[in-house]
Chain A
Amino acid sequence: MNAFDSTSGIEPTPPRLRLRTQPPPERGPAANGHRSIATEVVFDSEDVSIFYGPKQALSNVNLRIRRGQITALIGPSGCGKTTFLRSLNRMNDSVPGFHIEGQIRYHGHDMYAGNVDQVEVRRRIGMVFQKPNPFPKSIYDNIAWAPRNLGLKKGLDERVEKALRGAALWDEVKDRLKNSALGLSGGQQQRLCIARAISIEPDVLLLDEPASALDPIATGAIEELMHSLKGRFTIVIVTHNMQQAARVADRTAFFSLESTSAAKSVGTLIEFDDTEKIFADPRDPRTRDYVTGRFG
């Protein structure tokens, strides 16, 4: 675990305070300046419904995700939380039959507008997947690949080191950067994927159950890591592990499957609030049932 202590020297780790009690960090005036929320709300989802072919996966999601916070999406499997997450950087576009209604605005810009470039979206909004998916390349090249594409070739070695330190992996791999990434353990591979994602310094990190394929120790390492990344990135995490959500998230959204007719059920956002409120004093009885384990 002492690997993590060494990370603090690189980037000032933000104090582990509850950020939501403070005003979000102020930025300079937004480039377009026409929306004041642009400085604090990163994602604004308005009446979002998602369909795969004729099947509706999500219905009328309204929520706002704020800068610098960790937002957790929880709920039973099939409730559409991963679908929602993947629509935040347009990873669903390649799914056959995918179709979205309503609007998701990213810093005030409609993400599904015609002039939006998917690649630009993903350059700003990185993603880490459920299953570690390192490339069959060396550890170094796994990290350096994306910066090279973006033309960030100056100081590449430093960039790689910084990303690996940021993902609390540097001390474990610094002597074997040229080795294949496939030789790492599952937990290391997942941290490598996080390092890969932060190497191009995105605005947002989307994490899709990043620890579900890992053992408890590796899971702990990932959670530790999320605390250290907080403040530098806006983080949205999908998890089926409620303790995890309670430990890491500032705000938590609870999704559930609601039946609309006898045979059909659709993912629905039940409640979205501060994490403490969701777990200690939820407004909705369905949320209470779920967080207290009375659900299914």
Chain B
Amino acid sequence: MSAGFDPTAPLTPSGNLKRRQLFSRFALVGATAAAVLAVAVLVLVIYAVASRGLSAISLDFIFKAAPDGIGPELVGTGVIVAIATLIAMPIGVLIAIFVTEYAGRRATNAVKLTLDLMNGLPSIIIALFIFGLLVETRGQSGFAAAVALSIIEVPLVARGSQEVLRLVPASQREAADALGVARWRSTMTIVLPAALGGIVTSTVLAVARAAGETAPLIFATSLGNTDRYSLNPFEPLPTVPVRIYELSEEANPAGFTEAWGLSLILISLILFASLGARALLARSKRKMTA
């Protein structure tokens, strides 16, 4: 019984354990520090944006057109993202239905790869694409920008919806099948309504992501007038991200306050939307799995 230790000794660290525990604690503190660091960066960014942007924000700033405010940019971003979502949401949901209700293993893998590739497309590539597809021949427009953003939204909506559709219990589907209800009827009346909460929230997340995209908008709708309101998607519309980009590239300190103000508005919209959507998503998932 060469145990290498005295079993009757007190149960305090023996041998090399003290050193190992020290190292372990050190490593775990490091991991904690990494998490703290990430949160600190988030706080730093948000603090910088909030502290510098707050002074720019007023009712005039939000509702008036240039040179007093950024109303047209907000409206332009709203119009473009709305159109993009109108295109992307049905396509995304249909892809999700295809995967959960119809596709076999191979088709599922193929769709997964497609969505991953689509999600992995750098937005600058989408910008080049939309330039070649629409802008080069028809000129800039809010619509061209919306098409570009819809490419960014589709994989997000599809993947999010797919996750909640999977959570709809198979028993509900089987019950419908046993009653002789056709697949399309049960999909439309049982499966989709049950997953609606999740679909909406994943759409909101996609919207939050699209609202901040800049590269495609620079190519598709950078010539919008900032001094008047427009809802016409077939002309170039001013947008919040493009305006921030322009102001930051101008390197004229006078414009920085406006850019911080724009950033604050954009970041608040995005963070509140994604936080709210996440909370809702977690809740509807819990409800479905419970």
Contacts and interface: CB of A to CB of B under 8 A. Distances in A.
A91 interface: no
A30 interface: yes
Interface string A45-74: 000000000000000000000000000000
Contact of B15 (A27, A38, A151): A151
A121 interface: yes
A32 interface: yes
Contacts of B8: 27, 30-32, 38-39, 107-108
A152 B4 contact: yes
Q: Chain A: interface secondary structure?
A: loop
B7 interface: yes
Contact of A32 (B2, B10, B14): B10
Contacts of B13: 117, 119-120
B163 to A, nearest CB: 26
B4 A116 contact: no
A178 interface: no
A201 interface: yes
Interface in A186-205: 200-203
Interface residues of A, number: 30
Given A149-B20, A150-B16, A151-B16, A120 B11 contact: yes
Contact of A31 (B9, B16, B21): B9
Nearest to A29: B8
B3 A203 contact: yes
Nearest to A39: B8
Interface in A162-201: 200-201
Interface string A10-45: 000000000000000001001110000011001000
Contact of A232 (B1, B4, B15, B17): B1
Interface string B1-37: 1111111111111111100110000000000000000
A109 B11 CA distance: 7
A202 B3 contact: yes
Nearest to A110: B11
A116 B11 contact: yes
Contact of A150 (B2, B7, B10, B15): B15
A27 B3 CA distance: 13
A124 interface: yes
A106 B2 contact: no
A201 B4 contact: yes
Interface string A89-118: 000000000000000001111010101110
Given A32-B8, A106-B11, A124-B7, A201 B2 contact: yes
Given A117-B13, A123-B17, 7 more contacts: A27-B8, A30-B8, A31-B8, A32-B8, A107-B8, A121-B11, A124-B7
11 contacts: A31-B9, A32-B8, A32-B10, A42-B7, A115-B11, A117-B11, A119-B17, A120-B14, A123-B17, A150-B15, A203-B3
Interface of B: 1-17, 20-21
